[in-house]
Amino acid sequence: MTAVLEKFAVRVMVTDVWDQVFLAVGPDTTVAQLKREALARALRTNVFRPDDYVVKFRGGQILDESVTLGTLGAGANAPFIVLPARRHPVR
């Protein structure tokens, strides 16, 4: 007998473009995978440096991006934020 991992949708706000994307993920999806997919969809390109961005969940930055969404306790419609690791100067 094999276990079937269910997919569920999460919301990811990418602040560089002020766009929210919905991703179908599973509990075994890592935060790094979530970040790469959200950036690719929101920026509409594969030319970006994932290390230049951080992910926040429930108000705190996720420091270990190898952790899975199941470990974080993220469920359906969980909100994530992907934002630049460094603040941009305002003119």
Band (2; pLDDT cuts 50, 70, 90): low
Would you call 33 exposed, middle or buried from its count of C-beta atoms within 10 A (0-12, 13-18, 19+)? Answer: middle
High-pLDDT (> 90) share of the chain, %? 81
According to CATH, the topology of domain 8-84 is Ubiquitin-like (UB roll) (3.10.20)
Domain boundaries, the chain: 8-84
pLDDT at 1 > cutoff 60: no
Q: What is the pLDDT of residues 15-57, one digit of tens each?
A: 989 999 999 999 999 999 999 999 999 999 888 899 999 999 9
Q: How far apart are CA 80 and CA 91, in angstroms?
A: 28
Mean pLDDT of the chain: 91
Q: How far apart are CA 65 and CA 75, in angstroms?
A: 17
Average pLDDT over every residue of 74-78: 94
pLDDT at 73 > cutoff 80: yes
